[in-house]
Structure 1
Amino acid sequence: MRAEWGASFTVLSPRALERLLPRVGGWTGVEDPSRYDGRRHPPLLGAQRLSVTNVSPFASGALATALEVVESVGVAAIHNRIAETAERLITGLVEAGVTVLSPTRRGDRAGIVVARTPSGSGSSATDRLADAGITVTGHGPDRVRFSVHATTAPDAIDATVEVMANTP
């Protein structure tokens, strides 16, 4: 949702809550969290045991704003926009001779596109993309991961394809 700080919430059924165990320890998910005695404190009951830290009011505000945007346009519109943007990126990369490694069929993918760069040029591609103002994640020596959003502009996709097509 791009709401900053990774703010989120979840709703759990009693059955899910019963089965989920805390895997990432958080000081707010245990009994007596401010008692610093060097001992392991038992987890709280209920969903609070999954808490990692206190809620940031800034992150909560950003999440609320993001939820308002989703509500104003609808999930289906966001889904379609991401699918169309991913399609534009995939089509552009394929036409430019760049190998797309992630699923290309609309029903088999989300907004993540992974492409192969020329052998050993992953860091060159990520550097060149960064110079063009495009943020990506390098995966190994020859792969780049793109994450399109509903707000990704068509000119950003065109610039991405141009950089990838011209990466040595």
Structure 2
Amino acid sequence: GYRVDLPALREVLDGRLLLVDAVQGFGVADLDWSVADAVVVGGQKWLRAGWGTGFLSLSDRALERLGEDLTGWTGVEAPTRYDARLHDALPSAARLAMTNPDLVAAARLAMALRLVEAFTVSAVDSAVSETVGRLRETVARRGGQMLVAVEPERSAGILPFTMPGFAGGQVGAALARRGIICSIRPDHVRLSPHVSTPDEIVEIVDEALVSLR
């Protein structure tokens, strides 16, 4: 859940390509993605578009570096002209397409992006940050420990924590009994509240952690 400083990375790379796996931040962290040469996003996380969705955005120089060898049959000019000849690769990043897209998944992703755009990323960022801050205080008050010491301004909405003396499965079960779904690991759990997470979630988490004692 660490919010990286992309412009600072851009400055120190000295001409090298900046490749960003944005699945844990796109749609929730208000960052300047344009400084990256490649941004790879899965739509199943913060965009809530479901599995099988995502996209790749490339800068012109990244596309140039990749060349024209990485392509599929739909990444060329006139792919359905079956004339037994080699077709030129498309000039855009569309040349990286391996086959035809899943149109249902593409529609889900499009609607998810429109929803975020309508609400604005900054509004999502602000709402999620506020909820995470309140949850962080509650976890600390009940003896929990953050898995990674991240300053609030560097947190991207993911809250991994341990409850000393309790396995991740025990903490997860206590949360599940109160209707909270979280990611469970052997020694910790991970909460990822979204903009639609109700305010009362903080009190519910508090009750779950108290029940462990």
Query: What's the TM-score once normalised by structure 2's chain length?
Result: 0.60
Q: Decide whether aligned partners of structure 1 residues 166 and 11 sit closer, same or farther in structure 2, where only a CA change above 3 A counts.
A: same
Match of 2:187 among 142, 158, 166: 142
Alpha-carbon distance between aligned partners in 2 of 1:95 and 1:163, rounded to the nearest angstrom: 13
Alpha-carbon distance between aligned partners in 2 of 1:54 and 1:124, rounded to the nearest angstrom: 44
Tell me what 1:165 maps to.
Answer: 210
- SS of corresponding position for 1:11: strand
Tell me what 1:155 maps to.
Answer: 200
Q: Deviations over 1:142-165 (max 9, x none)?
A: 211111211111122321232123
Alpha-carbon distance between aligned partners in 2 of 1:50 and 1:161, rounded to the nearest angstrom: 48
CA shift, 1:103, in A, is: 3.5
Q: Which has the higher helix share?
A: 1
Q: Decide whether aligned partners of structure 1 residues 31 and 66 sit closer, same or farther in structure 2, where only a CA change above 3 A counts.
A: closer
Moved over 3 A (4+): 18-21, 29-32, 44-54
Q: Does the 8 A contact of 1:118 with 1:167 survive in 2?
A: no
Q: What does 1:42-121 align with in structure 2 at a 5 Å threshold?
A: 47-48=93-94, 50-51=96-97, 54-121=100-167
Tell me what 2:172 maps to.
Answer: 126
Q: What's the % identity of the aligned pairs? A: 34
Alpha-carbon distance between aligned partners in 2 of 1:68 and 1:31, rounded to the nearest angstrom: 30
The one-letter amino acid of 1:58's match is V
Tell me what 2:31 maps to.
Answer: none
Tell me what 2:72 maps to.
Answer: 30
Q: Decide whether aligned partners of structure 1 residues 31 and 123 sit closer, same or farther in structure 2, where only a CA change above 3 A counts.
A: same
Q: Give unpaired runs (5+ residues) of structure 2.
A: 1-46, 75-88
Alpha-carbon distance between aligned partners in 1 of 2:94 and 2:209, rounded to the nearest angstrom: 45
Match of 1:15 among 42, 46, 61: 61
Q: Does the 8 A contact of 2:143 with 2:163 survive in 1?
A: no
- SS of corresponding position for 2:189: strand
Q: How much is the aligned-residue C-alpha RMSD, in angstroms?
A: 2.9
CA shift, 1:114, in A, is: 0.9
Alpha-carbon distance between aligned partners in 1 of 2:98 and 2:192, rounded to the nearest angstrom: 26
Count how many residue pairs are aligned between Structure 1 and Structure 2: 151
Alpha-carbon distance between aligned partners in 1 of 2:73 and 2:118, rounded to the nearest angstrom: 40
CA shift, 1:9, in A, is: 2.2
Q: Deviations over 1:108-142 (max 9, x none)?
A: 21100111123342111112222322111122x32
Q: Decide whether aligned partners of structure 1 residues 52 and 115 sit closer, same or farther in structure 2, where only a CA change above 3 A counts.
A: farther
